Amino acid sequence: MTALDYLISTVWLSPFLYVTILLLGKAYNMKKRRRARQGAKNNIEKIIFQIPTIGNVQMVNKTFQTVKGYNLPVKVETWVIIEECDTHKDEYVADKVVVVPASFECEDLYKSRALEYARRLRQKMIADGTLSPNYMLFQGDDDALPSKEFMEEGLTVDADIIIGTIAPRAKGVLATVIDYERCVACGMFCNFFTNIEEPIWAHGEGTCMTSKVDQTVSYDLSDYSSNPKIKLISSEDLFYFQKASLHGFSTFNSEKKIYIIPPLTFTDAVVQRRRWMWGQLRILRYKLLPLRNRLRIGVFGYSGLWLYALSTLGVPLKYLGLINIPDAVLPFTYATLILWFAIRGYTIGKIMGWKHAIGGILASYVTVTLNFTLQVVGFIKGDPKKFEVIRKQ
pLDDT at 223 (0 to 100) = 86
Tell me how far apart the alpha carbons of residues 286 and 324 are, in angstroms, rounded to a whole number: 40
pLDDT at position 67 is: 98
CATH number at residue 70: 3.90.550.10
* pLDDT score of 291 more than 50: yes
**% the chain with pLDDT above 90:** 82
pTM, two decimal places: 0.94
Residue 105 covered by a domain: yes
State how far the Cα of 359 lies from the Cα of 341, in Å rounded to an integer. Answer: 11
Closest CA to 156 of 77, 216, 73: 73
Confidence of residue 329 (pLDDT cuts 50, 70, 90): confident
Rounded to 5 degrees, what are φ and ψ at 137?
Answer: -105, 120
Whether 320 shows a pLDDT value over 90: the answer reads no
Residue 50 makes CB contacts below 8 A (sequence gap 6+) with: 78, 79, 80, 81, 98, 118, 137, 138, 139, 140
CB atoms within 10 A of CB 54: 15
Is 335 part of a structural domain of the chain? Answer: no
pLDDT score for 39: 54
The number of domains in the chain is 1
Q: What is the pLDDT of residues 179-212, one digit of tens each?
A: 999 999 999 999 999 999 999 999 889 999 999 9
Please report whether residue 161 resides in a domain. Answer: yes
Q: Domain for residue 101, yes or no? A: yes
Residue 151 lies in a domain: yes
For 6, other C-beta atoms within 10 Å of its C-beta total 12
Q: Is residue 201 part of a domain?
A: yes
pLDDT at 230 over 70: yes
Domain for residue 261, yes or no?
Answer: yes
Output the pLDDT for position 42.
56
- 118 within some domain: yes
Residue 263: which domain range? 22-299
Average of per-residue pLDDT across 96-121: 96
Does the pLDDT value for residue 351 go beyond 50?
yes
* φ and ψ of 221, to 5 deg: -100, -10
In single-letter form, the type of residue at position 21 comes to: I
Q: Are strands 161-168 and 144-146 parallel, antiparallel or unpaired?
A: unpaired
Query: Does the pLDDT value for residue 159 go beyond 70?
Result: yes
Cβ atoms of 168 and 186 closer than 8 Å: no
Q: Report the chain's mean pLDDT, rounded to a whole number.
A: 93
